Chain A
């Protein structure tokens, strides 16, 4: 198993079939995550980050489909596995937690049962054993009085508690990869910090890799060692998370970083306006030719409007997809 990255995505293309034609909702997606690593995928709504995650766990549904490229899990191609084989991976080796802890739990089933079901399903435990393990799982996500809480229904728990339960379910079978799709967006800022801390600690203890998907560059950079920035279906820049803040290369990333308010900065004090990126994200069916950022880019030249740039490997590690990168 060693020698291979845990998960490796190569030139993945995701097609959107709108009835009359196929357009690429995401293309040229390549990245790899090693065992125990934390990797972030950042971008605006609709840039293709969530469908990339769905493609990883084999859950793209019509009108979306994988149009090309390879996904390898421990060196084994998984994009063409049978439904049953993929189901064995899901929940067991690759788990996922969602944005909405309010709706991601079954309202008519006690939370303990929902956790226990994972052990029954993937580990073949008896219900008696599984219920025991569910209590342990709840206590590992620091839910107070877990032996009483297992009998609670989701509506009896607060948002933060529900997200803890979700984490307990996701980590129940000791997966190798945890995909967290906007895991804290629906939570208060204070609870958010606790949940992120909990998720990071648990994964570090167990050697679980994290693929974190968010629009919040600050949050992702805080959690992840490496960050990839997506724009309009392509990864435009992939760097170490410290570098991306210090010296963003792609004009889009530069715009993103500049638009973050910082404590003590002139903008935060109200002396200057916060920077913004002019224009809007193009629709999937109307992506511009060449570099997809060119209509909004101050440095765009003729070549940017004609030919899509390839990735340039940076000296400090990572890559950028731009002709004019810093």
Chain B
């Protein structure tokens, strides 16, 4: 199969972000929190300070590397929670139909009607800032698209010959859902999940920017942007590099999602070739 540019570039960017996050302790020049030195505050980028330093003299390069950990953890974990919730609700709703389908549909519409970031804000307000509440807030608010998709797939797959055959062969409902329906809808679910990770990274940045994310002094890309807000004219590198990191990671995830869709959807594949 011919590898597509969006898949390769997207995979490379996302892979780079993961590697950077994992290897942060070895790649970083200084400790992101402790190595503050007011003697070299607000240094512009140079050979010593690759990305410059902030108002407390901390190395931006090291802080961006460590910030990847927070952003990616939030992106991946919260999207996993969303996918699990969305698939479980959508798949069972499409398969069983009836009143359960109505309940799930109503719930999905409710979630779609409320802007998810506002909802996440409300949850954060109750739980208080921090990584765990960030994961919970973002993990509970973005499952509606996955749910819609899983429900639609389940509705069409339910009438496939092999699903009926499985019923005739004595499979129970749960076994049919797991062995027959789930593997056949995994492609689009993975694509939506990848795209969802991108938006979760953005949501994390937004919430941290608003001061509801990871507590300072530990760095996250969003909180770094937030702290850099006042110095954007005097020290633009403070916002430039965390912003670039967010941009490249989200771009990578979106390209990766697009590329995966091209591979996993046989229809779009044949349409293009």
Do A and B share a complex? yes
* A248 contacts the other chain (CB 8 A): no
Please measure, in the bound complex, the distance between the C-alpha atom of A120 and the C-alpha atom of B184, giving whole angstroms: 21
Inter-chain CA distance A95–B167, complex, in Å, is 11
Is the pair B179, A117 in contact by a Cβ cutoff of 8 Å? yes
Interface presence of B183 (CB below 8 A) = yes
Number of chain B interface residues as a range: 10 to 19
Whether B170 contacts A103 by the Cβ 8 Å rule is: no
A106 lies within 8 A of B184 (CB): yes
Assuming the contacts A98-B161, A100-B161, asked whether A106 and B179 have C-beta atoms less than 8 A apart, the reply is: yes
| Partner among B161, B170, B179, B183 whose Cβ is within 8 Å of the Cβ of A104 | B161
Rounded to whole angstroms, the CA-CA distance of A90 and B184 in the bound complex is 24
- Flag whether B162 is at the interface (Cβ < 8 A): yes
Measured CA separation A106–B170 after assembly (Å): 15
Q: Are A90 and B169 in contact (CB under 8 A)?
A: yes
Closest to A89 in B: B170
Please tell me if A87 contacts chain B, counting CB pairs below 8 Å: yes
Q: Is the CB of A108 within 8 A of B183?
A: yes
Q: Are B170 and A88 in contact (CB under 8 A)?
A: yes
| Measured CA separation A90–B172 after assembly (Å) | 11
A281 to chain B, nearest CB (A): 25
How many whole Å from A87's CB to the nearest CB in chain B?
5
Once the chains bind, are B175 and A121 in contact (CB under 8 Å)? yes
Known A-B contacts A104-B165, A109-B179, A121-B175; the reply to A92 vs B184 at CB < 8 A is no
Which A residues are CB-close (under 8 A) to B180? 106
A98 contact from B165, B170, B179, Cβ within 8 A: B165
B161 touches A103 (CB 8 A): yes
Whether B172 and A87, one on each chain, are in contact in the complex, defined by CB atoms closer than 8 angstroms, is yes
Cβ of A57 under 8 Å from chain B: yes
From A86, which residue of chain B is reached at the shortest CB distance? B170
With an 8 A cutoff between CB atoms, is B168 at the interface? yes
* Closest A residue to B166 using CB positions: A106
CA distance A91 to B171 in the complex (A): 8
Cβ of B160 within 8 Å of any chain A Cβ, yes or no, is yes
Which DSSP category, helix, strand, loop or mixed, fits chain B's interface? helix
**CB-based nearest A residue for B163:** A106
A91 and B170 contacting across the interface, CB-CB below 8 Å: yes
B169 with A169: CB separation less than 8 A: yes
| B167: nearest chain-A partner, CB-CB | A59
- A118 engages B169 (CB within 8 Å): yes
Whether a CB of chain B sits under 8 angstroms from the CB of A105 is: yes
> Across the interface, do B171 and A57 meet the contact criterion of CB distance under 8 Å?
no
* Contact (Cβ within 8 A) B168 A59: yes
Nearest Cβ on chain A to B176's Cβ, whole angstroms: 10
Contact with B along A155-173 (1 / 0, CB 8 A): 0000000000010011000
B162 touches A104 (CB 8 A): yes
On whether the beta carbons of B165 and A90 are closer than 8 Å, the reply is no
Interface flag for A135 (CB, 8 Å): no
Name the A residues within 8 Å of B184 (CB-CB): 106-108
CB-CB under 8 A for A90 and B179, given A103-B161, A103-B162, A105-B162: no
- Contact A106/B168 with A117-B179, A121-B175 known, Cβ cut-off 8 Å: no
Q: Name which residue of chain B comes closest to A95, CB basis.
A: B169
CA distance A106 to B171 in the complex (A): 13
For B164, list chain A residues within 8 Å (CB).
98, 104
Once the chains are docked, how many angstroms separate the CA of A65 from the CA of B40? 82
The chain A residue with its CB closest to the CB of B184 is A108
Closest Cβ neighbor of B159 among chain A residues: A103
A121 to B173 CA separation, bound complex (whole angstroms): 13
If A106-B183, A108-B183 touch, does A121 touch B161 (CB 8 Å cutoff)?
no
**A87 contacts B170, C-beta separation under 8 Å:** yes
Give min CB distance, B100 to chain A, whole Å. Answer: 16
Given A117-B179, A121-B175, the answer on whether A107 and B169 have CB atoms closer than 8 Å is no
Residue of A at shortest CB range from B170? A91
Q: How far is the CB of A57 from chain B (nearest CB, A)?
A: 6
* Closest beta carbon of chain B to A12's beta carbon, Å: 19
Partner of B169, one of A91, A108, A109: A91
In the complex, besides A92-B170, A98-B161, 8 extra interface pairs with C-beta distance below 8 angstroms are A59-B167, A91-B168, A91-B169, A96-B168, A98-B165, A104-B165, A106-B183, A107-B162
Binding site for B on A (CB under 8 A): 57, 59, 87-92, 95-96, 98, 100, 102-109, 117-118, 121-122, 166, 169-170
- A–B complex contacts, Cβ < 8 Å, 6 sampled: A90-B169, A91-B171, A104-B161, A106-B166, A117-B179, A121-B170
Interface residue ranges, B against A (CB under 8 Å): 160-162, 164-172, 175, 179-180, 183-184
